[in-house]
């Protein structure tokens, strides 16, 4: 049984490394042009080369998003960029625009293509259309139910990818015009202002000063803002429907988000393949996912084409029970490490160490992936003992347990 592929977002090189460390089979990212996330930490030419080297070394795949809806000037610049990606031998392109698809077939003919969810892939005939043109994988529209995905699998042989976790957009397959209309930032060119997260009122024509309340809490009404997708409870159903690839949304999300979400889905996937017939969902997986920034969770449209619980009517502020205070950069002996400080750390803080269950070449027999510990000492960048480390510095920490590179140090938010 071929395992489902787990594809994680990589907003920059550090997130790419952490995504691979925490179990991603592949990462997707964008270059400085032609990607639908202009404000992510997108990759320069040199960084793309480094990304290619890192993924090869780890035996992982590298997918590059070229998924804008192209204008004429984009098409003029496209051939040189595609030729360069072809020479770099990335593992695939993510494309939504037919014009870019044609350019890719001409200038990067050897590169596999995944059709982006933005292409409105909502029926089996559309899947056959793209397959007949030479695409290798298709990311299905998030509007589809699980039953519809099963029917697509029965009628096609193309590899199917679906989003399993992350932000949802109110627009059809993510093709939104609100941002362009309100603040002249084109979401379909990668510059979304997330206008669907703003507060709105419904106003009747002859009573413009008397807005109608639709549904609100004490903070107002956010009728266009969706909860985040979370399908961690339904790994067997997704695999049983014939899905080949699980995709995590979030190129603009934090390092902690990428690490925690990737590791949690990896654990669930491995548990399923270890024993499909006796697989049981672990509540600890969902509890972990609640510790990372989110707007509340929904199962989207997978089980209901007209769901009632997808909207986030309160202020769409990201919720999280925990926060990362440090990232281990280099271990110094057993219990001491140099760390990048992300949020304030105090000597008296109760902390947890978040890690893989088995760091590379260092199996931790009997040790879990979340370990409560206490701070013994802190040092600042000048190697002076301190009681507080502030965000943005490199410091040193000693705890009463082992520390390894890629460990994340967290505390209650």
CB 335 within 8 A of CB 398: yes
Structure tokens at 301: 């449209």
Distance CA 119, CA 173 (A): 7
pLDDT tens, residue order, the chain (413 aa): 689 999 999 999 999 999 999 999 999 999 988 886 665 568 999 999 999 999 999 999 999 999 988 889 989 999 999 999 999 999 999 999 999 999 999 999 999 999 999 899 999 999 999 999 999 999 999 889 999 999 999 999 999 999 999 987 766 566 666 666 567 776 665 667 777 666 666 676 677 676 655 554 555 455 566 788 999 999 999 999 999 999 999 988 999 999 999 999 999 999 999 999 999 999 999 999 999 988 788 898 899 876 656 655 555 455 667 889 999 999 998 899 999 999 999 999 999 999 987 544 444 433 457 888 999 999 999 999 999 999 999 999 999 999 999 999 999 86
Burial of 308 (0-12, 13-18, 19+ CB in 10 A): exposed
Structure tokens at 410: 């967290």
| Dihedral (CA of 308, 312, 314, 320) sign | positive
Of 118, 23, 10, the C-alpha closest to 356 is 23
- CATH 2.40.30.10 domain extents, the chain: 322-412
Of 343, 338, 346, 336, the C-alpha closest to 387 is 346
- CATH 3.20.20.70 domain extents, the chain: 5-172+227-298
Superfamily holding 322-412: Translation factors (2.40.30.10)
Please tell me the CATH code under which domain 5-172+227-298 is placed.
3.20.20.70
């Amino acid at each position: 049984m071929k395992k489902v592929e787990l594809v994680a977002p990589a907003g920059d090189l550090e997130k790419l490394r952490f995504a691979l460390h925490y179990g991603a089979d592949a990462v997707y990212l964008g270059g400085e042009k032609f990607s639908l996330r202009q404000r992510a930490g997108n990759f320069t030419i040199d960084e793309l080369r480094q990304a290619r080297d890192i993924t090869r070394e780890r035996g992982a795949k590298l997918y590059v998003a070229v998924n804008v809806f192209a204008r004429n000037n984009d098409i003029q610049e496209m051939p040189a960029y595609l030729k360069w990606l072809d020479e770099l031998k990335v593992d695939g392109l993510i494309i939504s625009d037919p014009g870019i698809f044609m350019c890719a077939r001409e200038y990067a003919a050897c590169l596999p293509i995944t059709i982006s969810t933005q292409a409105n892939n909502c029926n089996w005939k559309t899947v056959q259309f793209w397959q007949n043109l030479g695409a290798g994988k298709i990311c299905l529209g998030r509007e589809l139910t699980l039953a519809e995905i099963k029917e697509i699998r029965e009628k096609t042989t193309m590899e199917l990818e679906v989003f399993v976790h992350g932000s949802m957009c109110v627009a059809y397959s993510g093709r939104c015009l609100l941002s362009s209309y309100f603040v002249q930032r084109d979401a379909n060119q990668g510059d979304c202002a997330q206008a669907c997260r703003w507060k709105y009122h419904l106003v009747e024509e002859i009573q413009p000063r008397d807005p109608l309340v639709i549904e609100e809490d004490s903070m107002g009404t956010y009728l266009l803002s969706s909860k985040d997708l979370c399908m961690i409870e339904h790994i067997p159903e997704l695999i049983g429907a014939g899905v080949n690839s699980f995709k995590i949304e979030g190129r603009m999300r934090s390092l902690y988000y990428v690490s925690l979400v990737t590791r949690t889905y990896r654990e669930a996937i491995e548990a399923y393949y270890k024993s499909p017939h006796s697989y049981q969902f672990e509540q600890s997986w969902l509890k972990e996912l609640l510790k990372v920034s989110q707007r509340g969770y929904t199962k989207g449209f997978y089980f209901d084409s007209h769901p009632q619980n997808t909207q986030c009517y309160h202020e769409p502020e990201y919720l999280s029970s925990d926060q990362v205070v440090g990232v281990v950069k280099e271990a110094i002996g057993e219990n001491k490490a140099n760390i990048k400080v992300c949020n304030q750390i105090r000597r008296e803080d109760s902390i947890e160490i978040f890690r893989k269950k088995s760091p590379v070449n260092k199996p931790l027999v009997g040790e879990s992936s979340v370990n409560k510990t206490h701070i013994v000492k802190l040092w600042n960048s000048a190697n002076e003992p301190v009681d507080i480390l502030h965000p943005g510095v490199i410091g040193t920490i000693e705890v009463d347990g082992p520390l390894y590179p890629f460990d994340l140090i967290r505390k209650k938010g």
